Amino acid sequence: MLDSMQGAVELGLLYALMALGVYITFRILDFPDLTVDGSFTTGGAIAAVMISAGYSPWLATVAALGGGLIAGAMTGLLHTKGKINGLLSGILMMIALYSINLRILGRPNVSLLNAETIFASISPIPLMIIIVLCAKLLLDIFLKTDLGLAVRATGDNPRMISSLGANTDYTKMIGISLSNGLVALSGAVVAQQGGFADISMGIGMIVIGLASVIIGEALFGSKTVFQATLAVLLGSIVYRIVVALALRVEWLKTSDLKIITAVIVIIALVFPSVQRAWKQKNLAHKRSVELSGGER
């Protein structure tokens, strides 16, 4: 039990970077970006191929980040300059990345067993805590700069920000690019911790990212940017704990993981709106009773 909890925290931290990326597009830009499923694999593939070719694992990790930034910028270009619907531009890029990822990998999977990864001298949990916190704090700072404020306003009120002189094409591309950079970084650390990169490692990533964002915000709140990014990180860990607990149920198999994820996201999405509607109804009823002078 304790072992599986520790494993869950570790996985949560590894995927937390991806969740931060999804937070940028889904919450800040209000742009449902499906590139994630592809760019996650891109990150893992770049890191695995470079490490097995003998490059420093840190260099490989940074290169993976760069690959994600480029993939995101491409999706941004399709959406802003090509005027393609947001969902569709993400799907198109995801499909295109499948072939690109296969080209990078050269074969469906690349093993990293016996290769030196960033986790060679430090165990995953402490190192990931450092990396994840650095990423979170840098993102917090970025979102408070003039450019970051413009990116946030682009998702909040695009009409206002273009009347105030920001090019929304540019701010969107920055946000989507940054998001996929983080996602690819996550893919790189996941591949190194797992000891392999696989062409299908990114499937369903967007849903896991959404689950982390929604669970985190529901449990830990999102009043300020600082609080929201922290909530997303913790959400990623909570998600892994929930999955670990669910898998202990006897009649569930490992292959049921995707449907468990889907169900968690559905509950997390439906519950708050049902709760709000219920509260509203109760409040309205209470007020009506008050206004009618206490009669029922």
In the complex, the residues that contact another protein under the rule CB under 8 A are 142, 144-150, 152-153, 156-157, 159-168
Q: Which is nearer to another protein, 159 or 253 (CB)?
A: 159
CB of residue 162 vs another protein: minimum separation in angstroms?
A: 5
**Alpha-carbon 69 to chain mean position:** 14
CB of residue 41 vs another protein: minimum separation in angstroms?
A: 30
Q: Which is nearer to another protein, 178 or 237 (CB)?
A: 178
Nearest-angstrom CA–CA distance, 150 and 152: 5
Q: Which is nearer to another protein, 65 or 153 (CB)?
A: 153
Angle (nearest 5°) at CA 209 between 143 and 1: 120
Q: Which is nearer to another protein, 98 or 226 (CB)?
A: 226
Burial of 23 (0-12, 13-18, 19+ CB in 10 A): buried
CA 108 → CA 30, 139, 141, 242, distances in Å? 33, 33, 38, 30
CB of residue 217 vs another protein: minimum separation in angstroms?
A: 13
CB of residue 62 vs another protein: minimum separation in angstroms?
A: 19
CB of residue 88 vs another protein: minimum separation in angstroms?
A: 24
Q: How many CB atoms lie within 10 A of CB 192?
A: 27
Nearest-angstrom CA–CA distance, 175 and 238: 26
Q: Which is nearer to another protein, 121 or 163 (CB)?
A: 163
Q: Is 212 helix (H, G, I), strand (E, B) or coil?
A: helix
